[in-house]
Chain A
Amino acid sequence: EAQVTQNPRYLITVTGKKLTVTCSQNMNHEYMSWYRQDPGLGLRQIYYSMNVEVTDKGDVPEGYKVSRKEKRNFPLILESPSPNQTSLYFCASSDTFTGGTDYGYTFGSGTRLTVV
């Protein structure tokens, strides 16, 4: 089944304790992205990657890191989480969208992170 797999679904952690949220897709998509969803703010992009070893900042990158060492995986790293990073996180992937074509995103099931 074509899917984007995020883990964990739920995570409660303490301020300053490094954590990684994993994201993996099995559709050979080149484009992957991380979003956070906060009440009243909509989906805001954290980082995105157009291909392996290519990553770019989105609208709210502060406090996050990503890596794209292989096509299928795009982990989100919080080196020193703070309470303002408590949020619902989504990973998404798609085929590349150049040359006049465009594709819908496939989203992961979400990770609800609480930092206390």
Chain B
Amino acid sequence: ILNVEQSPQSLHVQEGDSTNFTCSFPSSNFYALHWYRWETAKSPEALFVMTLNGDEKKKGRISATLNTKEGYSYLYIKGSQPEDSATYLCAFRNSGNTPLVFGKGTRLSVIA
């Protein structure tokens, strides 16, 4: 079973703070890395799908980077807002015919 690690497990920040968290995955055999946002009582929603080393993606105040050679991706949130409070999941795939393996997530709480 592939190991996808996310850190930290949980995070509390003040409104307006910028924050980031990490997803680590096996650096051998990379196909794709996904980020999802999962609000309580809702279903996970795709944020980014990243496939190339050095990829940087951005959606509003949220951005992500990818380093496939060293096996990590960072998710950044600039100027956190209470509505950013959610669990952020990353998921990794090592080939084009295998399913995603999810990390356990980073739970972000933004305090107003």
Interface residues of A, Cβ cutoff 8 Å to B:
33, 35, 40-45, 48, 50, 58-59, 90, 97-110
Which B residue's beta carbon lies closest to that of A108? B43
Which B residue's beta carbon lies closest to that of A45? B99
By DSSP majority rule, is chain A's interface helix, strand, loop, or mixed?
Answer: loop
Interface residues of B, Cβ cutoff 8 Å to A:
1, 31-32, 34, 36, 42-49, 51, 89, 91, 93, 96-97, 99-105
Tally the A-B contacts, defined by beta carbons under 8 Å.
59
16 contacts between A and B (CB under 8 A): A42-B102, A42-B104, A42-B105, A44-B102, A45-B101, A48-B99, A50-B97, A59-B1, A97-B31, A97-B93, A97-B96, A102-B34, A103-B49, A104-B48, A105-B100, A109-B42
Q: In the assembly, what is the distance between CA of A99 and CA of B46, in Å?
A: 20
Report chain A residues within 8 Å CB of B31: 97, 102
